[in-house]
Amino acid sequence: MARILIIDDDGDVRETVVRLLELDGHEIAAPPSSRDVSAAIEAGDYDLVVTDVIMPEMDGIEVVRKVRKARPNCPILAISGGSSSMSSRTLLHMVGALGADATMKKPFSRAELQAAIGALLVGGGF
């Protein structure tokens, strides 16, 4: 089991992901505000980060940078449902290029989430 930091500005999404991952026994942190997010990232107390890309205060790119600074080798999974100007695929492609280890478009099934998390944890979490 791993300690996973969930970052999404949409509370419902955040809570849903928390529930899904808790089903698999992971230890989850899901800070509600961007300030809490920054603190949690800097604390470094996590094995994996799941982050949304388009967020009003701190977006996925910034999350990736901060995580890389705090925990250079920590795997990051970026998730996105797209934006008004770019498809989720484009966004995720760019986030991937900017340092996310894996990407996944919304909506996703539990199985897809489990596969992505599993791959990251196996690939380099530890």
CA distances for 24 relative to 31, 52, 71, 93, 122, angstroms = 20, 20, 24, 27, 15
Q: State the nearest-atom distance from the C-beta of 74 to another protein, in Å.
A: 19
Q: State the nearest-atom distance from the C-beta of 23 to another protein, in Å.
A: 5
Q: State the nearest-atom distance from the C-beta of 2 to another protein, in Å.
A: 18
In sequence order, which residues have a C-beta less than 8 Å from that of residue 16 and are 6 or more positions away?
Answer: none
Binding residues (CB under 8 A) for another protein: these are 10, 12-13, 15-17, 19-20, 23, 53-54, 59-61, 79-91, 94-95, 97-98, 105-110, 113
